[in-house]
């Protein structure tokens, strides 16, 4: 599903990603590890289409509406409630029966009680969970998760692990904490 040859990305003078080769078949799970600043985030953003390569080739076999992305920002509006945020994204992603689906996700990730509170009052862990709901809302074929375990407490982490174990989607997960999901990985990429 994802094919990259000599993929590079620079920002001004800085090389964030240098000639990476990658082949991920459909349904695969790629675990990306590496120290801070090694380009994990850049790689995910490239795959999501938020960045274009400055060198090399990248082919992603999924359309915009089929990609679920979790980055460093939760990508939700602080002034809206969780419900309203998911309604908006549900509308933009043409999710069928979006009310039901958002409700289901909110419940699964333990946010049902807080669903009508403004997101601005959420804790970091709750924001991360909401962001996950957002990423999963449209049942994406490709999941791109950048440090998803970061702000999650034990319960949240367990929910995410289960979600990943049950998934059918192709996934790329960048993390500092590979042991959690190492057993699910079909491939690994270490960035220097």
Partner 1 sequence: MVLALALMGAAVAMVAFYVPEDADQGLSQKIFYFHVPIALTAYACFGWGALKALLYLWRRDPRYDLESYVAIHLGVIFGAMTLVTGMIWAKISWGVWWAWSSNQLVLFLVLFLFYSAYFMLRFSVEDGPMRANLSAVYALFGVVLIPIGFLAIRLANDFIHPTVFTSQGPQMAGSMFATFVVCWAAMLALAAAFYGIELAGKRLDARLRELRELLAP
Partner 2 sequence: MNYAGDVAALLRKDLLLELRARETLPAMALFVIAALTVFHFALPAGSSDLAAQGLLWIAILFTALLGLSRAFVSEREQGVLDGLVLAPCDRSAIWLAKTLSVLSFLVIVEAIALPAFGLFFSAVSLRTVAAVALADVGLCTVGTLLAAMAVTSRTRELLLPLLFLPLALPIVVGGVGASVAEDGGRYLGFLAVYDLVFAIISWASFEYVVAE
- Return the number of the residue (32 or 134) whose C-beta is nearest partner 2: 134
Q: How far apart are CA 116 and CA 143, in angstroms?
A: 27
The DSSP 8-state label assigned to residue 1 in this structure reads -
3-state SS class at 5 = strand
Q: Which is nearer to partner 1, 8 or 128 (CB)?
A: 8
Binding partner of residue 71 among partner 2, partner 1, none, CB under 5 to 8 Å per kind?
partner 2
Give the nearest distance from C-beta 6 to partner 1 in angstroms.
Answer: 13
Q: Which residue has the tokens 């990306």?
A: 32
Least distance between partner 2 and beta carbon 50 (Å): 6
CA–CA gap between residue 41 and residue 64 (Å, rounded): 18
Question: Which residues are at the interface with partner 2 (CB under 8 A)?
Answer: 48-52, 63-65, 67, 69, 71-80, 84, 88-89, 91-94, 118, 134
Helix axes 82-92, 124-136, angle to 10 degrees: 20
Q: Which does 63 bind (CB under 5 to 8 A by kind): partner 1, partner 2, none?
A: partner 2
């Amino acid at each position: 599903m994802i094919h990259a040859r000599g993929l590079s990305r620079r920002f001004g003078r800085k090389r964030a990603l240098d000639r990476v080769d990658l082949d991920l078949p459909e349904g695969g799970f790629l675990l990306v590890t590496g120290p801070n600043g090694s380009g994990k985030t850049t790689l995910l953003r490239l795959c999501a289409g938020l960045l274009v390569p400055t060198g090399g080739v990248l082919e992603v076999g999924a359309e915009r509406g089929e990609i679920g992305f979790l980055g460093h920002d939760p990508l939700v509006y602080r002034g809206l409630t969780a419900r309203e945020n998911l309604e908006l994204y549900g509308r933009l992603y043409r999710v069928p029966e979006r009310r039901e689906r958002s409700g289901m996700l909110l419940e699964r990730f333990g946010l049902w009680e807080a669903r009508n509170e403004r997101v601005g009052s959420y804790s970091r862990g709750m924001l991360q969970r909401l962001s996950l709901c957002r990423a999963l809302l449209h049942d994406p074929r490709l999941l791109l998760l950048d440090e998803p375990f970061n702000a999650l407490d034990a319960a949240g982490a367990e929910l995410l692990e289960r979600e990943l174990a049950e998934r059918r989607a192709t996934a790329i997960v960048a993390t500092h904490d590979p042991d959690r999901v190492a057993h699910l990985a079909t491939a690994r990429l270490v960035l220097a």
